Every structure is written in C-alpha cells, then in structure tokens.
Chains A and B, each alone.
Chain A
Amino acid sequence: MLPGDGVGPELMHAVKEVFKAASVPVVFDEHHLSEVQNTASEEKLDRVVDSMKESKVALIGKIHTPMEYKGDLASYDMRLRRKLDLFANVVHVKSLPGYQTRHNNLDLVIIREQTEGEYSSLEHESAKGVIECLKIITRAKSQRIAKFAFDYATKKGRAKVTAVHKANIMKLGDGLFLQCCKEVAELYPKIKFDTIIIDNCCMQLVQNPYQFDVLVMPNLYGNIVDNLAAGLVGGAGVVPGESYSAEYAVFELGLSMASSPPQVLLGTQGSPLSPVLSISEPFPSFTTTFLPFLPLPVLDLQVRTRDLGGYSTTSDFVKSVIDNLHPHYGA
C-alpha cells in the first residue's frame, strides 16, 4: 500500500476501515513514497519493487508530481511505473446507480499505454529558447498495449475496441501506433475494431459517449480521455483505476496520473469511493458481497461527499458503507 500525498492517506485509511469491518483477509505492507514530502529516493523505490516481487499486488493513493523542475525530467510516480513496467492503465468508467449526470448508464473502458509516448521524459533545449520534447512510440509497446486491449475485451465480453490517435498529424508516431492496433485487431475477429482521431473522440465523448466500448490509446490521450470520461460520471472521486505489467497489478484512483485540483490535495472532503471500488477487482468473492452495498450510501444525499454535491465527510461516508455491510455480516 502506497498512500502518497494529499487525500491519499485518508483514502487508504478508508479502505482499511472498510476491509476491517468486512473481515477481509488482506494484510497491507505500507510504504511511504512521496516526491513532495521528500521521501523520494532510489532506495525507497527499490524497496517497493522488492515488496511487490512477493505480493504482486499494490494499492496506491496518489503520489503527487510537483510542477517544479528539480533536475529529473521523470517524476517519481513515472519512475515507479517504469520500474514495475506497468504498461497498461485501465480505467473502467461506469455510471454510479443513484448519481445522475449529463449522461447516465455509461460503461466505457479506457486503456492507456503508460510507459512511453509523450511521457518519455526526453526533453532538451536544442537552441536557446527552443525546447524539443520527444514523443516516443515503439512497435513493441504499441503491439503490447493493443494486445492487452483485445485480450481485456475478450476476457470481459466487450464487443468493440476503438483506437484513438492523431495519425493525420503525427503520421509516423501515431501512424505506427495505429498500424500496430490494426495488425493486432486481425487476430481477434470476434471483436469489432475501429479508429477515431483524438479531437473528434473528445467531442463525441461529450455529446454521445454511448458509441464507445473499449478505447485504446497512447499515454497523453489516455490521460486526457480518462479525465474527460471520469468527469462524465462524477469526477475524480468515483472512478477507480488499475495498472498492469506482466507480473504486477496496481489498484489506484482512476485519475492518478492527472494533476489533482488543489482542493483534492488539501481537503478532507475527498470521496473514498474510488479506491474502494478499485480494490473490489482482484477479490472476486469480496466483490459479490461488497459491491451491492455500495450504491446505497451514494443514493442517500445525506452521505454524499462534497465532490458529489453533498456535505458528508470522508469518515461519515466510510461509516455508512460499514453500516451497510454489517446487517449481512452479522454474528
């Protein structure tokens, strides 16, 4: 468990409370990593990797990436993801029953390549006042994420995968990404495949998100589309995220790579829904007993946290979730 910064520790605390109440047989090995709190070092990262080698699974709050450039172009969070080779980020955007938004009954999956693209941390000043920032797209990683997307779609019984790109402008970079997606798509004849340009994709998400099923895309577009889609169903507080490598699975807030608005970093009004929803993924039996109780606190206006228009505190919400657990966990 990596609580991180801002609301991270409180959210992790919420998960621990609910797990305790539900008697979940999981023990957390906590590590305190933070770039802003100066507990960021190579040794700490290595210790986390060692811990992961045993456990294979992690739950993360939010490791904040500060704006200032202190000498390392790659953020601490990015370095962790690269060390663990968490190449696939999955954000399952699902409308919460009982919480009305502009578009209801949404069920989209956004799959984002998370280790290359625009986040390659390769920048230099080639001439005075001119910065070159390299966006790296490789055949290997594009094929890998495309295969992940189609495997995910197959496993979860999804009907369509849409590749999001801007290959009309970045003909070689996004062109390669698109080409790899097309090649992989041919190996999965049962799954429909189409493509859309990132700008049109964003417009469509706002006007008619129902046309999408599973979306796969490079790093930056994934970051943007994750945020856009999360905004459609209620924001950063209600969307869980998962990151995968060949060996590890990390569960986290859906928008962990995005910069949090200041009130989320400072406030005590964060919704603990997101990490709670994400942790249900790897524990199937827990999911079937736990998830049915989740909608009840969300429905009740009195327990909604600020981000959902209510006045509840994090702890009020947690208590409500626990109360909803107990009738069925009796003696």
Chain B
Amino acid sequence: MVMPNLYGNIVNNVCAGLVGGPGLVPGANYGHDYAVFETATRNTGKSIANRNIANPTAALLAACMMLDHLRLHSHASTIRQAVLASLDDPRTHTPDIGGQGTTSGAVQSIISHLPCS
C-alpha cells in the first residue's frame, strides 16, 4: 500500500494493531543517500521505560532489516529466525503481547536460539 504522509501514519498504526501492537512491527526509512531503521509505530513508550518490560521484537527485526540493507543476509536471517522461534514460547512474551516476561528474559531466549558460535 502506498500513500501520503498522514494516511501512512494512521494505516501503520491500524495494521500494527491488527498483528499484535507496537512491540512487534519493524519499520524502515529510505532516502537517496541514507537508510534509517526503527520500530514501525515510533512509540516513545514513556510509561513502560526503564521497567525491563519493553518488547525487543520490533527493534530486533528492524536491526535485521538493517543487516539485510548492509548485505549481511546470513546474519539477518539467523537473528530473525531466532527472534521468531523465541516468540513461539509464551513464557518469554512481554506484557504488551499478553505475557509476563521481561525484556532481558526475551533477549536471553533469543540468544539461546542462535546457533552456537
């Protein structure tokens, strides 16, 4: 879907809401010279900051998009797969997706899904 600025802001949020919220969806920004990766809905998350409950999924998937952009495809795939595999375990889910897990717990779980180096 392609659209002007405001509609994009709105549709991003509606669609992120449809798939589980701001903690899950990554976003990318492209210009002629630069590329910037971030969470799709750009929430500051003031109310959940510094409580170790933020969902790292969106940020990690955005980082994977950055790795793909940098042509580090195998690293991107590896991490992405680890993130998705970790999501299969509801015990690692942070509160925004209905769980009681922590940010650090989710990250540890993702790391444990990485192939041993």
Contact = CB atoms under 8 A, between A and B. Distances in A.
Partners in one complex: yes
A200 B41 CA distance: 8
Contacts, number: 34
Contacts of B50: none
Contacts of B14: 202-203, 205-206, 228
A203 B21 contact: yes
Contacts of B16: 203
Q: Interface size bucket, A side?
A: 10 to 19
A224 interface: yes
Count chain A CB atoms within 10 A of each CB in B6, B16, B43 and give the residue with the most.
B6
Count chain B CB atoms within 10 A of each CB in A166, A200, A202 and give the residue with the most.
A202
Count chain A CB atoms within 10 A of each CB in B17, B22, B43 and give the residue with the most.
B17
Contact of A206 (B9, B18, B43): B18
B44 to A, nearest CB: 10
Contacts of A200: 13, 41, 43
A191 interface: no
A204 B10 contact: no
Count chain A CB atoms within 10 A of each CB in B9, B14, B18 and give the residue with the most.
B14
Contacts of B77: none
A202 B15 CA distance: 9
B23 to A, nearest CB: 11
Contacts of A220: 6
A207 B10 contact: no
A199 B9 contact: yes
A198 B22 CA distance: 15
Q: Interface size bucket, B side?
A: 10 to 19
Contacts of A198: 9-10
Contacts of B10: 198-199, 202, 224
A199 B14 CA distance: 8
A230 to B, nearest CB: 13
A203 B17 contact: yes
A16 to B, nearest CB: 37
Contacts of A204: 17
A220 B14 CA distance: 16
Interface string B35-53: 0000001010000000000
A273 B6 CA distance: 32
A278 to B, nearest CB: 26
Count chain B CB atoms within 10 A of each CB in A198, A206, A220, A228 and give the residue with the most.
A206
Interface of B: 6, 9-10, 12-14, 16-18, 21-22, 41, 43
> Which 7 A-B pairs give the minimum distances between C-beta atoms?
A206-B17, A203-B17, A203-B13, A199-B13, A207-B17, A202-B14, A202-B13
Interface of A: 166, 198-200, 202-207, 220, 224, 228
16 contacts: A198-B10, A199-B9, A199-B12, A199-B13, A200-B13, A200-B41, A200-B43, A202-B10, A202-B13, A202-B17, A203-B13, A203-B16, A205-B17, A206-B14, A206-B17, A228-B14
